[in-house]
Amino acid sequence: MITANDVKSKLIENFNVFELNLQEDESNPIAEIRREALKNFEAMGFPTRRHEEWKYTPVSKYLKYDFEPRTFTDNGFAAKDALPDAAISGLRANVLVFVNGKFQAAHSDIIETDKFEFRDIASAINAEDPYLFSRLNAVIDREKDPFIWLNQAYMRDGAMIRIKDRVKLQYPIYLVNMELPSKGNYLDNVRHLIRVGDHCEASIITNYINRSGEDRNLGNYFTQVEVGDHSHLQFYTLQYELGNGLHIGNYEVQVGKESTFSTFFFSSDGRLVRNVSNIILRGEHSEGHMYGLYSLDGNDHCDNRTVIDHAVPDCFSNELYKGILDGNSVGVFNGKIMVRPGAQKTNAYQHNPNLILSRGATLHAKPQLEIFADDVKCTHGATSGQLDEEHLFYLRSRGLDAANAKALLTYAFAYEVVEKVKIPALREFLEKRIQGKLLIHD
Amino acid sequence: MALLEIKDLYASIDGNEILKGVNLKVNKGEIHAIMGPNGSGKSTLASVIAGREEYEVTKGSVLFEGKDLLALAPEERAREGIFLAFQYPVEIPGVSTANFIKASVNEIRKHRGEEPLDAASMMRLMKEKLALVEMDKSFLSRSVNEGFSGGEKKRNEIFQMAVMQPKLAVLDETDSGLDIDALKIVANGVNKLHNEENAFLVITHYQRLLDYIVPDKVHVLLNGRIVKSGGKELALDLEERGYDWIKEELEAGAPQNS
Domain ranges of chain B: 4-251
Which of A346, A278, A288 lies closest to A313, judged by CA?
A: A346
Task: Judge whether A264 and A232 are in contact, CB under 8 Å.
Answer: no
Burial of A314 (0-12, 13-18, 19+ CB in 10 A): middle
What's the one-letter identity of residue A357? L
Share of chain A above pLDDT 90, in %: 80
Say how far apart CA A350 and CA A335 lie, in whole Å. 8
pLDDT score recorded for residue A440 = 44
Contact B78 A399 (CB under 8 A): yes
Q: Which residues of B touch A (CB under 8 A)?
A: 50-54, 73-75, 77-79, 83-84, 86, 89-90, 92-95, 99-100, 102-104, 107-108, 111, 143, 160, 164
For residue A441, list chain B residues with Cβ-Cβ distance below 8 A. 99
Task: Please give the interface size between A and B, counted as residue pairs whose CB atoms are below 8 Å apart.
Answer: 86
What pLDDT band is residue B258 in, cutting at 50, 70 and 90? very low
pLDDT score recorded for residue A433 = 87
pLDDT score recorded for residue A352 = 97
Task: Judge whether A207 and A192 are in contact, CB under 8 Å.
Answer: no
What pLDDT band is residue B257 in, cutting at 50, 70 and 90? low
Q: What are phi and psi of B180, to 5 degrees?
A: -65, -35
What's the one-letter identity of residue A149? W
Contact B95 A412 (CB under 8 A): yes
DSSP-assigned letters across all residues of chain B = --SEEEEEEEEEETTEEEEEEEEEEE-TT-EEEEE--TTSSHHHHHHHHHT-TTSEEEEEEEEETTEEGGGS-HHHHHHHTEEEE-SSPPPEEEEEHHHHHHHHHHHHHHHTTPPPPPHHHHHHHHHHHHHHTT--GGGGGSEETTT--HHHHHHHHHHHHHHH--SEEEEESTTTT--HHHHHHHHHHHHHH--TT-EEEEEESSSGGGGTS--SEEEEEETTEEEEEE-HHHHHHHHHH-SHHHHHHHHTT--SB-
Contact A399 B54 (CB under 8 A): no
Say how far apart CA A427 and CA A421 lie, in whole Å. 6
pLDDT digits (tens, 9 = 90+) for A156-180: 999 999 999 999 999 999 999 999 8
pLDDT digits (tens, 9 = 90+) for B232-252: 999 999 888 888 888 888 888
pLDDT digits (tens, 9 = 90+) for B24-48: 999 999 999 999 998 999 999 999 9
Give the closest-approach CA distance of A435 to chain B in angstroms: 11
Q: Which residue of chain B is at minimal alpha-carbon distance from A439?
A: B103
pLDDT digits (tens, 9 = 90+) for B177-201: 888 988 999 999 999 999 999 999 9
Helix axes B119-132, B180-193, angle to 10 degrees: 130
Widest pairwise Cα distance in chain B: 62
Q: What are phi and psi of A111, to 5 degrees?
A: -85, -45
pLDDT digits (tens, 9 = 90+) for A183-236: 889 999 999 999 999 999 999 999 999 988 888 999 999 999 999 999 999 999
pLDDT score recorded for residue B159 = 96
A439 pLDDT higher than 50? no
List residues bridging with A380 in a β-sheet. Answer: A350
Contact A402 B95 (CB under 8 A): no
What's the one-letter identity of residue A157? D
What 3-state DSSP class applies to A228? coil
pLDDT digits (tens, 9 = 90+) for A251-299: 999 999 999 999 999 999 899 999 999 999 999 999 999 999 999 999 9
For residue A410, list chain B residues with Cβ-Cβ distance below 8 A. none
Burial of B156 (0-12, 13-18, 19+ CB in 10 A): buried
User: What dihedral do alpha carbons B194, B197, B202, B207 form, nearest 10°?
Assistant: 50
* Mean pLDDT of the A307-319 span: 98
Give the closest-approach CA distance of A274 to chain B in angstroms: 28
Burial of A214 (0-12, 13-18, 19+ CB in 10 A): exposed
Say how far apart CA B124 and CA A201 lie, in whole Å. 43
* Mean pLDDT of the A10-30 span: 92
What pLDDT band is residue A437 in, cutting at 50, 70 and 90? very low
User: How far is C-alpha B221 from the chain's CA centre?
Assistant: 15
pLDDT digits (tens, 9 = 90+) for A21-69: 888 998 999 999 999 999 999 999 999 888 889 999 999 889 999 899 9
Give the closest-approach CA distance of A361 to chain B in angstroms: 24
pLDDT score recorded for residue A75 = 55
What pLDDT band is residue B255 in, cutting at 50, 70 and 90? low
Give the closest-approach CA distance of B256 to chain A in angstroms: 34
Q: Which residues contact B239 (CB under 8 A, 6 or more apart)?
A: B206, B207
What 3-state DSSP class applies to A138? coil
Say how far apart CA A172 and CA A437 lie, in whole Å. 29
Task: Judge whether A61 and A48 are in contact, CB under 8 Å.
Answer: no
Contact B94 A412 (CB under 8 A): yes
pLDDT winner (highest mean) among A274-283, A412-421, B169-178: A274-283
Which of A130, A153, A73 lies closest to A106, judged by CA?
A: A73
Question: How do beta strands B4-13 and B56-64 pair?
Answer: antiparallel
Give the closest-approach CA distance of A272 to chain B in angstroms: 30
Contact A391 B92 (CB under 8 A): yes
Q: Which residues contact B75 (CB under 8 A, 6 or more apart)?
A: A396, A397, A398, A399, A400, A401, A402, A405, B107
Q: How many residues does chain B have?
A: 258
Q: Which residue of chain A is at minimal alpha-carbon distance from B78?
A: A399
CA neighbours within 13 Å on the CB side: how many for A166? 0
Say how far apart CA A260 and CA A54 lie, in whole Å. 30
Which of B53, B75, B164 has the CB atom closest to A401's CB atom? B75
CA neighbours within 13 Å on the CB side: how many for A78? 15
Q: How far is CA B224 from CA A307, B57, B86, in A?
A: 57, 13, 20
Which of A395, A411, A439 has the CB atom closest to B94's CB atom? A411
Which of B98, B92, B7, B87 lies closest to B47, judged by CA?
A: B87
Contact A399 B107 (CB under 8 A): yes
B162 pLDDT higher than 60? yes
Q: Which residue of chain B is at minimal alpha-carbon distance from A401?
A: B75
Query: What is the value of pTM for the model shown?
Result: 0.87
Which of B165, B169, B80 lies closest to B128, judged by CA?
A: B165
Task: Judge whether A294 and A329 are in contact, CB under 8 Å.
Answer: no
Q: Which residue of chain A is at minimal alpha-carbon distance from B111?
A: A399
Say how far apart CA A220 and CA A250 lie, in whole Å. 8
Q: Which residues contact B146 (CB under 8 A, 6 or more apart)?
A: B91, B92, B93
B53 pLDDT higher than 60? yes
Give the closest-approach CA distance of B238 to chain A in angstroms: 32
User: How far is C-alpha B97 from the chain's CA centre?
Assistant: 20
Would you say the C-alpha torsion A37, A38, A39, A40 has a positive or negative sign? positive
Q: Domain B4-251 adopts which CATH fold?
A: Rossmann fold (3.40.50)
**If you average pLDDT over every residue of chain A, what do you get?**
93
pLDDT digits (tens, 9 = 90+) for A95-139: 999 999 999 999 999 999 999 999 999 999 999 999 999 999 887
Which of A326, A319, A278 lies closest to A53, judged by CA?
A: A278
Task: Judge whether A66 and A7 are in contact, CB under 8 Å.
Answer: yes
Contact A415 B94 (CB under 8 A): yes
Starting at the edge strand found earlier in the chain, the sheet holding B56-64 runs B16-26, B4-13, B56-64, B67-68
Q: What is the DSSP letter of A168?
A: B
**A147-182: b or e for each residue (b if 16 or more CB lie within 10 Å)?**
bbbbbbbbbbbbbbbebeeebebebbbbbbbbbbbb
For residue A404, list chain B residues with Cβ-Cβ distance below 8 A. 103
Going through A20-115 in order, the beta strands assigned E by DSSP cover 68-69, 94-99, 102-103
